[in-house]
Structure formats: structure tokens, C-alpha cells
Chain A
Amino acid sequence: MQQQKVSDKILFQNATIVDPHQGKSYTADILIDDGKIRKVQKEIPKSGIKRVVDLKGKSVAPGFIDLHVHFREPGFEDEETIATGARAALAGGFTQVCCMPNTVPPIATQDSVRLIYKKAEDLLVRVYPIAAITKGREGKELTEMGELAEAGAVAFSDDGTPLQNALLMRYALEYSRVTGKPVINHAEDIDLRADGLMNEGIVSTQLGLTANPAAAEQLMVYRDVMLAKLTGARIHIPHVSTAAAVAIIRQAKADGVRVTAEATPHHFTLTDEYMRSFSAQGKVAPPLRTEEDRQAIIAGLKDGTIDAIATDHAPHTYETKETSLDLASSGLIGLESAFGLAMTQLVKAGHLSLLDLVTKLTTRPAAVLDLPLPPIKAGEAANLTIFDPEEWWVFSRKDIYSKSHNTPFLGAEFTGRIKSVFTQSTYIEI
């Protein structure tokens, strides 16, 4: 990864601009000066411009947004830091990410919200903290949501710990309206998921692994949607993994409930068949589901039921993954492989147009958490992700910038690759 500060002019020629704000793709040159877009038009004269980059065959989109990452700081700096996570984000074309509060201590006070901003202030990626719903993420007492929002929290979530108490969830949703920010609840019924290590189904029966039924997610998504309806608050459903949850969200949206949803690349790529390897790289919450579920997630992305693609980037050390399934940590890293997977599984497979995919990585997630996303037009800040939609590549360790390497996708073949990012007056070649 090479980065270069460009405080004067840079000209991108022959770019295919995939513009989610206008809902169209077109070819043009982009002239940037002092970090701002000056012109977007065909054949801008290059005389007098020191830095000219020909983007023939490449596409340009607004910088991607990831609504769901774990940067592990403070508390688990051996797995990831905000700085290393930000590098992984850039490698994946993401210029804005939202980090979850399952840190030690959790992001549950104004100080901890400010700490995240402080740690990220000199980085090229904007890192927005999601604050806890309950104090200590213990599911007992609400955090001071008003103050947390004032300090900059963009949403509220107890992350991996579902808020099981329906009454408290009702209060959390009601109270969140003070802030206007959505609540994100890890949607699994804690009792029903039991200690399931994988999806419950034919594969779990054959492997003898304790299993977590789709109904655990279905129940919690249904409850949360009902409570959002009851309270008029905003609910965001993270990492949708089941066909049943997609159906509930689709209906709720039709009924006018203020619900949004995200899906991860691993849930729209892998199924529980992966667990036949017994590899802990496939252990994740919610678990990898069936082919039917995978297809339903893709259909949900296609018809807009699922707003955004988010990675749930969850770094873990080698040691906590290279062990028996019961002891292994849950989760996988996702930032560096997200675009390759999405292009391969969704666009090349014929499910989404490139423009649709870009909206799921830009305008739609921006709307979910009210994040700024400058459009590609004169006068706006230059915040661009540049990719080659046709490049074939094999995902390998050298493509990983995260501090951790836990991914089931090493060796996977992708079509579509992030080439560079321009943000904060800096040109970063991956």
C-alpha cells in the first residue's frame, strides 16, 4: 500500500464513474485540486497538471462505507487496532466504517466515544463509534444515550450480546428516539441458540455438532421489528443470515416499520456445508446457514429488503482460531475480501448490477446511519474508491492488512479488485 499526499492537482482520466447519487454510470475525467473535486467532464486538458492517472477500464465510486466492524481497541490490541483496522478498510475500498462497542471497557461513556474519534483523527478512514445500549453491555440498564449521541455515537448496540429482555429493548427503542439514532440488536434468541456451534440442519446432524436453529434469529428479528413498530423507533438488523429473517424484514418494510438491514459477504457466499471441514474459520455468529438461506439473502439484496453490505470484520489471533470448535472464537475478518466476494457472488453471478452493488456499499449504508457521503461532482470533497471490475485474482495473505488473518477465503478466486482510494487529499494505491 502506497500513499501520497496530493495537496495540489490530480487528474483521473477516462474513469467509468459508477454514481449511486445519480443512479447511473458514465465515463468522464475527474479533476481534483486541494482535496476537492473541481470538474467532472470528458477530456479535461491535462496541461500543467503534475499528477495524471489514466483509469481506462477502471471504475470510480464514492468511498465505501462499512456499517459493522470490530477494531478491538481498547482492550484487544493484539487482534486489531484502530490504525491497523483502518489500513484493512482502505485495502477494501472503505473510507468510512462504524465500529462496534464490544471492547474492554465497552464504548458506553462519552469518554470512550471520544477515544475512538481521537485514535482515528489522523487516519485516512473515518471511524464512527457505535455505543452500547446498556451499561457494560450487560443487558440491565440503559446507557446515557443522549450524551453518547452528543459525543458522536452513530447508533446503539450491545453487539454480540443480544438484548434478550423485551421490556428493556422496548425502553431502549423508545429512548433512542431522543437521539434519532437507530438501535442495532444482534438478532438471536439467547436461550434458543443455546451453545450452538453451527446452523441446525442436516449438516449439523451429520457432524454431531451442537446447533443453533434459524428460528433463533427469526424470533429475535420478529420481536425487534414488532417493538420498532410499537415504539416508532429505528431498528437496524445486523448480519441477516436466514430466509425467515429476510421475509420478516420485507414485510415490515412494506408495513412502514422503520427497519433497515445488512448482510455480510460470508453469509451470501458460504453455507453450513463449509463446516464439514470442522475448521473454526467457519465459526461465526450468526452461523453459516443453508443454500436456501443464502439465496434468500441474495434475493433480499436484490429487491432492497437488505439495505447494505457490511463485513462484521472480526479479527481474532491465530491461537484463538486454531483450536477445537468449542474453544475457538467466533468471527472472521472481512474488509479486504468484501468487494471481491460481492463482485464475484453478486455481480458476476448475475444477481446485482454493478451500480446496485455500489449503492449497497455507499448511499444505502450512509442512509442507514445518517453518515455523510459526498457525491462525485464539482465542489464536493474528493472521496473516491477506484476498482477494476474485471480483474481476476486469488485472495492471499499478502492482501491482508488486518492484524489478524482469520478468514475462510484464503485461496479463493475473485473477479473485481480494489486498486486505489482517494480521500482526505491523499492518493492510496493498494
Chain B
Amino acid sequence: MNLSIKHLYGLEGVPKEDIQAILSTAFSFREVLERPVKKVPTLQGVTVVNLFFEPSTRTRISFELAEKRLSADTVNFSASSSSLSKGESLKDTIQNIFAMKIDVVVMRHPVPGSVKLLSQFVDAVVINAGDGTHEHPTQALLDMMSLQEKVGDMEGMNVAIVGDIRHSRVALSNIHGLKTMGANVMVCGPPTFIPVGIESLGVKVTYQLEEALEFADAINVLRIQRERQGTGLIPSLREYRNLYGITRERLDRLSKPITVLHPGPMNRGVEIDSDIADGEHAIILHQVLNGVASRMAVLFLLAGAK
């Protein structure tokens, strides 16, 4: 199985066939993860570097695990972007690492576009593990895999993304992926969290959580970063919870099933209450497991083809 894409910069413009191929491959790897010996020799001899210019625990562990399950050799590099500003350019850092013969790079960087820029300097498969507020394609892939598993075919599915859309790479990747797969997407949050012109991506916009909940077969609840308070974007986390928090009371009012996703890490009691996060609506831990499987699929399909 070959993908039309050579790198995974984002889901914008990635054709439906590629997404389908990644998801179906991911489901096969899910089975591997259920076995007593959770390892296949698929990427033996392939060297992967996880290049993280921004702190990450979950995504990095998920990628590292996916690489190890595929028997790839892995190297980790972590640096704060501030150390780069001290003198060593991004280009130098990257060229130094690639002088060591790397096949695949998984990269996270706080600045949009940096992952794409990187690919100009190196001859390796590049996978975006989150570039600032631009895209986080593997997160969207694992979200879609979880939706397909728990809710069904995405064609015609109604998905609402709730929270800080403006500062979210998860939202943008989900919008691109879900639209490609035929889902209807609504974004919901306070107006200060909705970026200008988001409608141009073919999504509906609402500032009322009730409207989003009425619309949705599934909601993807984004983390509210605590540092947003005090910037003028929202008056307080307290008011945010009152207006947009996913609570038992709100979900109980619905006369239909609804599935709750969260990319993590959660601020329990802010955007989502604990009894929802741990309750019957949530598929959050499935997302985590599917994260490993879908990253295995991406690595296999891109690096295997090299």
C-alpha cells in the first residue's frame, strides 16, 4: 500500500484514499498491540529521530512506542526553542543530526511551518508531531480512528470541536481530516477563541455550547491552557466552565447519544468534568491506544515506502 504523500506535514490537502489507507493500516496494528508480544519487525534497520523543540510527554512517548513496536532504531532530541535563539540555527541543528544518516524525523516545533521548512534541508521522511498552532496531523488521525471505531462511518457524521480553536493545532488538523472524510464540522467557543475566516474551511461556527451539543454525534473537547486567563481572551476559567464546560448536567439534557473525545492533557473541572472524562461517553483512553496504532501506520506507510 502506497500513499500519495511522501511526508506528513498536515492533513490539509491529504486525499481521502491516503487517510483511509492510514486508518485501515492503523486498525491492523491495533491488533498487534493486543497481542502478548507487541512487536513486529517491519521497520528493522530504519532510524527515526524524534526531534522535539517543545516539551511533550504524550506525543513523544506515543511516537517512541510506535517506533519501538515496529522495531525501528530511535533517537530522541529535545531542546527548547530558546536554546536555538541563542545562536545555533534550526538549520544547523537539523543538518547536524541528519549528517548521522537518519531515515525518518518526527518533529515538534512551536512555530507554524517549521516542520515544512525542515524538509528543505534534509533527505528524510518528515512527520509533523505538531508545529505551533498550525497542524498536528497524527492527533487528528487518532481522533478519526477512534470516531470510526466507536461511532462508525465518518461520512455524514456531525462532529463539534469545542474550545480554543484559534490556538489549536488539533482543531485545524481535525477540520481538514474530518471534512475530507465527509463529516460535518462545527466549531464552538467564545468569539475570542474563534479565528477569523474559519468558515472558509467549510465549518459551522457557534458561540453557544448547547447548539454544538444538539448538533453533534461526537464532540472533541480541547484543553484550555491556564495561561490564556489574564490575556484578555477570556475573563476567567470559572466563567469558561460555566459557559463551555462539558458537565454531566449538560449531557443528561440531551435526548441522543454523544461521544466525547479529548486530546489531553485535561484540565478537569475546566473544559471537562471528571465524571464525564471517566464516564460512559468518553473514549479518551481509546484515543491514547489508537494514537500508538495510527502513528505506527503513518511510520510504516511513509518509511516503508522509502
Contact = CB atoms under 8 A, between A and B. Distances in A.
B198 A209 contact: no
Given A205-B196, A208-B172, A325 B134 contact: no
A206 B11 CA distance: 11
B84 interface: yes
B84 to A, nearest CB: 7
Nearest to A209: B112
A105 interface: no
A209 B196 contact: no
Contact of B113 (A201, A322, A325): A325
A206 B12 CA distance: 9
Given A278-B116, A319-B89, A324-B111, A208 B132 contact: yes
B85 A208 contact: no
A268 to B, nearest CB: 23
Contact of A327 (B84, B131, B195): B84
Contacts, number: 67
Contacts of A278: 112-114, 116-117
A202 interface: yes
Contacts of B135: 208
A207 B169 CA distance: 10
A245 to B, nearest CB: 19
A323 interface: yes
Contact of B112 (A323, A325, A327): A325
A307 interface: no
Given A207-B112, A208-B132, A202 B200 contact: yes
B112 A322 contact: no
A327 B135 CA distance: 20
B201 A325 contact: no
A324 B200 contact: no
B102 interface: no
B250 interface: no
A210 B134 CA distance: 10
Interface string A184-211: 0000000000000000111011111111
A326 B84 CA distance: 12
A276 to B, nearest CB: 9
Given A324-B109, A325-B113, A327-B84, A205 B89 contact: no
Contacts of B133: 208-210
Interface in B257-272: none
B197 A202 contact: yes
Contact of B91 (A205, A208, A211, A323): A323
Contacts of B85: 327
A126 to B, nearest CB: 38
Interface in B83-116: 84-85, 89-91, 109-114, 116
Interface string A205-219: 111111101000000
Contact of B169 (A204, A208, A322): A208
26 contacts: A201-B196, A202-B196, A202-B200, A205-B196, A205-B200, A206-B172, A206-B201, A208-B132, A208-B133, A208-B134, A208-B169, A208-B172, A209-B112, A209-B113, A209-B132, A209-B133, A213-B196, A278-B113, A278-B117, A279-B117, A319-B89, A322-B89, A324-B117, A325-B114, A327-B84, A327-B85
Q: Which 5 A-B pairs have the closest CB atoms?
A: A278-B113, A208-B134, A202-B197, A208-B133, A205-B195
